[in-house]
Amino acid sequence: MIKAILIFNNHGKPRLIRFYQYFAEDMQQQIIRETFHLVSKRDDNVCNFLEGGSLIGGSDYKLIYRHYATLYFVFCVDSSESELGILDLIQVFVETLDKCFENVCELDLIFHMDKVHYILQEVVMGGMVLETNMNEIVAQVELQNRMEKSEVRTFLNSFL
Amino acid sequence: MALKIVKGSIDRMFDKNLQDLVRGIRNHKDDEAKYISTCIDEIKQELKQDNIAVKANAVCKLTYLQMLGYDVSWAAFNIVEVMSSSKFTYKRIGYLAASQCFHEGTDVIMLTTNQIRKDLSSPNQYDTGVALTGLSCFVTPDLARDLANDIMTLMSHTKPYIRKKAVLIMYKVFLKYPESLRPAFPRLKEKLEDPDPGVQSAAVNVICELARRNPKNYLSLAPLFFKLMTSSTNNWVLIKIIKLFGALTPLEPRLGKKLIEPLTNLIHSTSAMSLLYECVNTVIAVLISLSSGMPNHSASIQLCVQKLRILIEDSDQNLKYLGLLAMSKILKTHPKSVQSHKDLILQCLDDKDESIRLRALDLLYGMVSKKNLMEIVKKLMLHVDKAEGTTYRDELLTKIIDICSQSNFQYITNFEWYISILVELTRLEGTRHGHLIASQMLDVAIRVKAIRGFAVAQMATLLDNAHLLTGNTQRNGICEVLYAAAWICGEFSEHLEDPMQTLEAMLRPKVATLPGHIQAVYVQNAAKLFATVLRKHDGETESQAAQETSQLLIDRLPLFVQSANLEVQERASCILQLVKYIQKLQQKNVEVAEEVTALFAGELNPVAPKAQKKVPIPEGLDLDAWINEPPSESESEDEKPKAVFAKEEPKHSRSRHTEVDEKELARRREVRKQEQANNPFYIKASPSSQKVYDAPGVEHIPVVQIDLSVPLKVPGMPMSDQYLKLEVERRQKEKAERKKKEKKKKREKRGKERKADSGPESEEDITPAHQVDIVTEEMPENALPSDDDDKDPNDPHKALDIDLDKPLADSEKLPVRTHRPEALKSPAEDRDSESVPQETKKKSGKEKKKDKEKDRKRSKEEKKKKKKHKEVEEELLESQPEEAVQSEETKEAAAPPTSTSAEASDLDFWLSSAPVPPAAQEVTAPSSAAAAVDTSSAAAPESEPDEPKDTEPEDTKSSKHKKKKQKKEKEEKEKKKKKRHHHHHQHHSDAGGEDSVQNGTVEEEEPLPPMSNYSLLAENSYIKMVYDIQGNHQDESKVVVSVIFENKSDSFLKSMEFNVLDSLNSKLQRPEGAGAHDSLTVPFQLPPGVSNEARFVFSVQSIIMPQKLKGTLTFIVKSDESSTHEKLDFKLHFTCTSYLITTPCYSDAYAKLLESGDLKGSSLRLEGINMPFHHLLARICFHHHFSVVERIDSCASMYSRSIQGHHVCLLVKTSDQTVSIDAKCDEPSLLGNVLDEIKQTFSKC
């Protein structure tokens, strides 16, 4: 199970948070801070796994993260997930973002948090991996976007 | 109307959207909070508008603010409004917001039930998808119960997109509503073979997640997963399955054997590191679960270790990390194979990556030996000095202590060194582990007597320099060490050089700043030191020193008397008064030292941590019974006490009050004592148990030379290094000496052998620096060996521990959509129900009943349909052309097993059949055909992975299949007939029941006639004796004869004496000192009509022949008027069967045994046996202590072992009332006798 997915930048500003277990807002912020603290002091050439997050879970949980330019993508998972598998999944997720936003950068995530959520929803659902095939994910996201556009169009048409 | 809409949308144009909000926040970096609060005000205004677009926009912004840490739960109702919009765009926004901020405590959730249901059944797949996604985040027990059925329907949706989401969400539903697991499981299982890989992967995901928590319930799915594993190419699915197998193998070793080969293949073939790593992991799990008896395991271990070494050596830090992680799993069971990679692991300790260093630390635990412990710890100490973060340093500290203290300080050769290490560790700033160091100090000082002198000296120094430890407020954790130091100095004060100085140090005013519990120890031990000082100056008249000491205490103790800590206060005031009194006596020149020392006399021994828990409950003690008469029934006990003792209530409710008068109790006690004395299995309290602690006193231990010059004077200096040097020198010296000796020997033996090992010295060669005597921890007598660790009772997965193979009951159908009038519960109630899901059930019991009633009609119909369906399926199966025999696995998958037992036995069959997967099956020369045929009855599985598989066993398998099927058919027919004839009879319509005898694990369906192992020994009008003989594997020359004495008369029987005339071969074990012909007293008396059992131990030499021993029982019959002496003769018959012990045997081991050719054969034919085959087997099992290894149709292989280790194998076949038994055993005469006895058993019936 994936317990939480956090995306924040090099300064610890959250860009997307997705908890699959309930935490109150202040606790969520604390977790983000702690995770940022743990992750940010690590060099880029050390391993991508780390233990010791005291706030989520406990000994069974692990942080698996990847650092892309200005952003950290952190997945908090338990022992039923394969470590390398999750690393691959982060890669898939980021590549999908790249496809959907066309050369994704931090600004895309800042201004379109909702869209990032919708994409993530096609990858992970309720803490379990839903789809790992990038083409399938992109196709579903695009279909939904198209639906949204058609709804906006009919809405606008109603005025004319 | 139109105008209003236009107005709304124009308004909207002026509203901020999400992008504007984000931009705004970025532009107000200085007063962000203020800006956001104005935005929230705007949002509140927007939410008040009717326009759904405006609302959705507001909710979208709230979702963003939630991420920044703002509580937006106040808008929950608006979120529900947006969720229920008919437009996908808004709906999606609503569900997203809900999934981010709804949780079980959100009270508006219950308003969403119908909306979600509507969305789930929407024709638009994306509406459904969005609803499922949202629901997966905020599903509550109520939602789960109400929507379970809807979601289950979606699992068969036409669109795979919906199917996979529905499948995944089922896991969440199960968690919240465990009752749904059983009804939904069959469909979930179907989804494992969904044509869409996404759905399949989702199903695997869910089942793996379920099985991880309760693996035993999912064992029956192993064949299906095995098939998936060999056929799937999706690495995600493979990883999950392989992980799942890792969880299943500990439960079923046979599964592990089957897995090893395909996994090894995958390891060799895959290029995906993630898959490779999981394979290695699971192979490790398999190897752990299998006993190391199998020869080809070392190869697998080698393969794993070798692959892991490649990972660890990789430049990718991730692989390095995982390699170390997996290595630590191997370490537990195969430390040797890991130890050979010590170089690599030590290298990882220097890695720049903390995660990797931590993993390497874990491994160090298994790397240490007597030889390298000091070296490794030295290295770790260097790391401690360098470590930057406290977490890593604390981790190092605990590891050092772990490594040193493991298995009772096994690897420590020099305890002085260890104490110095501990003292050095106290210099760590801000560590949390002060108590850990303290407990180690205490442990060593108490248990290693030889070290006490040294330890006390070190502790005294610590106390003297306590200001170094306590000076800084940050170092609070470490002051725990002073607790240990004070106690050690006090308790072993006789070793102190200058107790006066230590006493002074312990009474400094600064001590009052320490935590209370430490002060208390200070005060108490100050008193001990005081006693020591007095004794030192004992005899000196008018000793100035002694009086000064008293004065010191009287001066300093009042500080502690004022302490806020009760314990400190109490002890201090007590001791203060005592000292004052002593001072008076001193002034009168009275000798007091003796008395004061007596206060602290006696030695404390270490007690094992769980000693208290392990004290067994004495026989006959019922902790639940009332001690006094229970309060009268009429009192209303249901109201008040329950409120107070709500939690304890269930325990006491079972209590029954036993009314026994004292005489009876005394008598029972007596009986019990005697019984215990006579019971060979009762572990008696050994009278010498105390010797253990007293005998090896300090005198025996050579005096330790303490090099006090440097370390004691400079407290902060690292001195452990010194010991390292000393140790090296000492070892070299020893080695040199040893070599000299060897040389001498060699010279003596010159020319004979040159075997002397010039290689590295082995573990045993290193002698400890000084003789240490590690006192073991005290345990209560008769301690129970097992201690069950309680699981976390709050684990939600506990509720999912459900047997999935049982057929569904009517009551278990999921609640179907109904209107729920109670849906609007008060929020308080709702909150209650989340915290205790069980309560929900009770509370909503009524509505459930309603639901059920409605369901029942439907479900009955469904059931009928299902039944029909099943029958059709079965027919299809049976009418399948017999030529088209598929391999077992594919068949399993194609035909859903019809019943539990069938499934269980199918699993057994699958597991016991050859391990070669169908994909890997190769047709090659029939070289092993002979062997396979020879052991066909045992379905001989070859465990060698490379064993070529020929066509012939394949054939036998299929023919077996045919038989099985035919038999099933036959039985069905027979049963149908029977049903027609005796309709009133209760029948078990379980076709698979017959096959379930395998290994004797599954219960018999048809009732067996009652059987008893006790046979009559002797009988007269007063008494009846029946007996049974059992052996055990522990002792190959002893059997236990249990005799039940039954008083048949109306009189009291007492003074029973049991005697047997020993033969050369068999002897009754008599207590020490008794003569060879003395009789044994039966340890009880028998009131009229009572029976009791006594056990007698016999020693036997040869067990290959049956034997009869003559014996006599004498007893006194006591009636009201008279008492007479009576006598009863008997013959104890030691059959050969009684030397056999039921021993389970796996079919492969059995096959090997038969192949080995060491066994000699014999056979037996029984005619006219008119009983079902399984009864026959049960009889052999029961009366002759065999176990069924394997059973196929009317043929079974059985196994047993004698107490002296003879293997006895039977192959039992039956046809038309004739039973033929082919037997093999390594002792022909034993076999002959056993067969004779079997024959007799069946001739009796």
pLDDT in tens, A11-47: 999 999 999 988 888 899 999 998 998 888 888 888 8
Please report the pLDDT score of residue B1010 as a whole number: 59
Q: How many CA atoms lie within 13 A of B625 on its CB side?
A: 8
Q: pLDDT tens digits, residue range B58-70?
A: 999 999 999 999 9
Most confident of B683-697, B737-751, B926-940, B1125-1139: B1125-1139
Please report the number of interchain residue pairs, chain A to chain B, with beta-carbon separation below 8 angstroms. Answer: 150
Q: How far apart (Å, rounded) are the C-alpha atoms in residues A40 and B355?
A: 14
pLDDT at A120: 94
The encoded tokens of residue B25 equal 């926040």
Over the stretch B734-744, which tens digit does the pLDDT of each residue have?
667 766 666 65
The beta-carbon neighbor of A132 closest among B89, B236, B321 is B236
The residue ranking higher by pLDDT, B1111 or B408, is B1111
Name the CATH code of domain B1139-1243 (choices 1.10.357.10, 3.30.310.10, 3.40.50.300, 3.40.50.2300): 3.30.310.10
**CB-CB: which of A16, A85, A127 is closest to B236?**
A85
Give the pair of three-digit tokens for residue B848.
């459930």
What percentage of chain B reaches a pLDDT higher than 90? 9
Contacts of A144 in chain B (CB under 8 A): 88, 92, 126
Residue to mutate among B7, B93, B133, with most A CBs inside 10 A, is B133
| Whether the predicted pLDDT of B408 surpasses 90 | no
B327/B364 Cα distance (integer angstroms): 11
Question: Taking residues A114-120, what's their average pLDDT?
Answer: 93
pLDDT of residue B1184: 84
Task: Spell out which residues of chain B touch residue A88, defining contact as CB-CB under 8 Å.
Answer: 274
Any idea which residue has 């979702």 for tokens? Answer: B63
Q: Does the pLDDT at position A146 exceed 60?
A: yes
Cβ within 8 Å, pair A22-B353: no
> B203 falls in which pLDDT band (50, 70, 90)?
very high
Q: What number is the average pLDDT over the span B211-236?
A: 86
Angstrom distance (rounded) from CA A25 to CA B585: 70
Does the distance separating the beta carbons of A152 and B89 come in below 8 Å? yes
- How far is the C-alpha of B820 from the C-alpha of B812, rounded, in Å? 19
Look at domain A2-158 and name its CATH class.
Answer: alpha beta
d(CA B358, CA B655): 52
B1040-1066 per-position pLDDT tens digit? 888 888 888 888 888 888 888 888 888
Query: What residues of B are in contact with residue A117 (Cβ under 8 Å)?
Result: 63, 96
- Residues A57, B174 contacting (CB under 8 angstroms): no
Residue-wise pLDDT for B602-655, tens only, equals 777 777 777 777 777 777 787 788 888 777 665 444 444 444 444 444 444 444
B169 contact residues in A (CB cutoff 8 A) = 125-126
Q: Look at residue B591 and tell me whether its pLDDT is greater than 90.
A: no
Domain range annotation of chain B: 1-101, 415-600, 1015-1134, 1139-1243
Q: Pick the most confident of B597-601, B671-675, B826-830, B855-859.
A: B597-601
Query: Between chains, do A126 and B239 touch, taking CB under 8 Å as contact?
Result: no
Residue B558 CA to residue B576 CA, distance in Å, equals: 8
At A19, the amino acid letter reads F
Instruction: Compute the radius of gyration of chain A from its Cα atoms.
Output: 17
| Crossing angle of the two packed helices B160-176 and B181-190, in degrees rounded to 10 | 150
Both tokens assigned to B1207: 């293997």
Check residue B781 and give its pLDDT: 59
Q: What is the pLDDT of residues A66-108, one digit of tens each?
A: 999 899 999 999 888 888 999 999 999 999 999 999 888 999 9
Residue B12 has pLDDT above 90, yes or no: no
Q: Does the pLDDT at position B206 exceed 50? A: yes
What is the per-residue pLDDT across B832-871, written as a single tens digit (0 to 9) for each?
A: 444 444 444 444 444 444 444 555 555 555 555 544 454 4
Sequence spans of domains, chain A? 2-158
Q: How far is CA B625 from CA B619, B656, B659, in A?
A: 14, 6, 10
Residues 6 or more apart in contact with residue B55 via CB below 8 angstroms: B46, B47, B49, B78, B81, B82, B90
The CA–CA distances, whole Å, from B372 to B31, B369, B1177 equal 61, 5, 58
Report residue B757's pLDDT band, with 50, 70 and 90 as the boundaries.
Answer: very low
The predicted structure's pLDDT at residue B747: 57
How far does the CA of residue B61 sit from the closest CA of chain A (Å)?
A: 9
B41-50, B363-372, B1073-1082: range with highest mean pLDDT = B41-50
Whether pLDDT at B1218 is above 80: yes
pLDDT on residue B295:
56
Calpha distance B418→B422 (Å, rounded): 6
Instruction: Please give the distance of CA B449 from its chain centroid, rounded to a whole number.
Output: 36
> Which range, of B326-330, B440-444, B724-728, B827-831, averages the lowest pLDDT?
B827-831
* Region of poorest pLDDT, from B277-291, B689-703, B1002-1016, B1021-1035: B689-703
Q: Which of B334-338, B413-417, B790-794 has the lowest mean pLDDT?
A: B790-794
Which spans in B1114-1172 are helix H?
A: 1147-1155
Provide the 3-class DSSP secondary structure of residue B763. helix
pLDDT average, residue stretch B147-164: 91
3-state secondary structure at position B1047: strand
Q: Which residues in chain A have Cβ-Cβ distances shorter than 8 Å to B137?
A: 20, 126
Average pLDDT over residues B251-257: 81
Contact B1092, B1000 (CB under 8 A): no
Q: Which residue has the higher pLDDT, B830 or A31?
A: A31
Q: Binning pLDDT at 50, 70 and 90, where does residue B716 land?
A: very low
Top residue of A82, A113, A145 to mutate, by most chain B CBs within 10 Å, is: A82
Structural Rg of chain B based on CA atoms: 39
| Fold of the B1015-1134 domain | Immunoglobulin-like (2.60.40)
Task: Read off the pLDDT of residues B493-539 as tens digits, 9 standing for 90 and up.
Answer: 888 888 888 888 888 888 888 888 888 888 888 888 888 888 887 76
Q: What is the DSSP letter of B71?
A: -
Report whether B311 contacts B344 (CB < 8 A): no
Other beta carbons within 10 Å of B434: 23
Are B241 and B928 in contact by the 8 Å Cβ rule? The answer is: no
Query: Between residues B962 and A124, which one has the greater pLDDT?
Result: A124
Span B1098-1120, mean pLDDT?
85
Residues of chain A in contact with residue B168, where contact means CB-CB under 8 angstroms, are 125-126, 128, 130
Compute the distance between CA of residue A131 and CA of residue A89 in angstroms, rounded to an integer: 9
What 3-state class would DSSP assign to B1053?
A: strand
The average pLDDT across B966-990 equals: 48
Predicted pLDDT at B650 = 43
Pair of tokens at residue B887 = 């391999």
pLDDT at residue B271 in the model: 83
Secondary element (H or E) of residue B288: helix B273-289
Q: Are B365 and B399 in contact (CB under 8 A)?
A: yes
What's the whole-number average pLDDT of chain B?
74
pLDDT higher at B1163 or B1073: B1163
Closest to B1115 (Cα-Cα) out of B1101, B1094, B1136: B1094
Phi and psi at residue B948, to the nearest 5°: -70, 145
Between B971 and B456, the more confident residue is B456
Q: Which has the higher per-residue pLDDT, B608 or B599?
A: B599
Euclidean distance between CA atoms B549 and B554, whole angstroms: 9
Q: How far is B891 from chain A (nearest CA, A)?
A: 30
Q: Who wins on pLDDT, B436 or B919?
A: B436
Instruction: Please give the pLDDT value at position B5.
Output: 54
What stretches of A18-133 show up as alpha helix (H) in DSSP?
25-40, 83-101, 106-111, 113-123
Per-residue pLDDT at B633: 60
B356 touches B324 (CB < 8 A)? yes
